[in-house]
Amino acid sequence: MAAFVKELATRPSRRGGNVVVLDSGAGLANATLQQRLVPVRLFYDYLIEEGLRESNPVGRGRYTPVRKFGGHQRGLVPRLTKLPWIPSEQQWLDLLDVAREEPVRNRVMLALAYDAALRREELCSLRTDDLDPAHRTLRIRAETTKTRRERVVPYSAATGVLLSGYLTHRATISRARGPLFLSESRRNYGQPLTLWTWSKVIRRVGLAADLPRFSTHTTRHLCLTDLARMGWELHAIASFAGHRSTESTLTYIHLSGRDLAEKLNRGMQQIHSWRVDMLTRAARASEAVAE
């Protein structure tokens, strides 16, 4: 098992240079390492049930408060939980400079991905009848979402202008109703844009802006973090994002630092007031002694 875990931790990714983030330091993310160990753990559980083994060598990372029962049992691979990466203001501006040179389809897709905090599949699966230009909203169908829950999300007026321009351009490719975003390559002209094509577009734009960590999910992270920075309530962000549980939404609250900043400001105000009060008392005491 030790040799297997070591091999997982050093195994190069099959995607090679297309890897965006190397959480494991080798090409397999920490979550991927955990997934590789699950079937092995279940197999040993089966052997124990069949009476062929007495113990499972793949630890679950459980904690037992009573020391005599084993205390803390560490997993073979430590479970890491990291905050999602988002670009700084300058990095975002650099990305937009590169995006301005992209075709109108790519620009409107990037705008919608941020504006409506869309996942890659939700964005690429949009259809013409999902649009409501009168109210500037999108219908995200349940079958395209991660949680299988339909929702309606708004988009900004600026994105609406881009979308209007794209719809005019789309009419030169196909006037048929159906998938909103169409391929313009010679090989798949007029066919629905695939997830992989959009990933390649984002990868190319990110590299051109010197942001190799930029991915199709970065715009969603950035939008939800910005909503948290603006003071949106937790349940409102969860509803907008289509999260089944607010536990997922808490990530963006933490990433924004909103709550921590508010607590810091309140705490610093109290400390500042206390220090000023103490200085004032000291000054008054000095004046009294002088008199």
Question: Is 284 a member of any domain?
Answer: no
* Residue 65 sits in the same domain as residue 100: no
* Residue 60 sits in the same domain as residue 100: no
Residues 129-183 pLDDT 10s: 999 999 999 999 999 999 899 999 999 999 999 999 999 999 999 999 999 999 9
Q: What is the pLDDT of residue 61?
A: 60
Question: Is 285 a member of any domain?
Answer: no
- Domain total of the chain: 2
Domain with residue 151: its CATH number is: 1.10.443.10
Which residue type is seen at 266?
R
Map tokens 């205390």 to a residue.
Answer: 71
pTM above the 0.75 mark? no
Boundary of a domain, candidates 183, 213, 243: 213
pLDDT at 27 > cutoff 70 = no
Percent of the chain with pLDDT over 90: 52
C-alpha radius of gyration, the chain, whole number: 26
3-class state of residue 220 by DSSP? helix
Residue numbers of the domain that contains 191: 89-213
CA neighbor of 203 nearest in space, from 121, 104, 95, 105: 95
> What's the CA gap between 291 and 184, in Å, rounded?
88
* Residue 118 sits in the same domain as residue 30: no
Boundary of a domain, candidates 213, 233, 254: 213
Question: Is 223 a member of any domain?
Answer: no
> What's the CA gap between 152 and 219, in Å, rounded?
18
DSSP string, 138-161: EEE-GGGSSS---EEEE--HHHHH
270-283 burial code (b ≥16 CB/10 A, e <16): eeeeeeeeeeeeee
* Residue 124 sits in the same domain as residue 166: yes
Give the start-end residues of each E strand in the chain: 131-132, 137-140, 151-154
User: Hey, what are 35's tokens?
Assistant: 């997934």
Q: What is the pLDDT of residue 281?
A: 75
> What's the CA gap between 291 and 189, in Å, rounded?
92
CA neighbor of 110 nearest in space, from 3, 206, 232: 206
Residues 67-83 pLDDT 10s: 554 445 566 677 777 77
Average pLDDT, the chain: 83
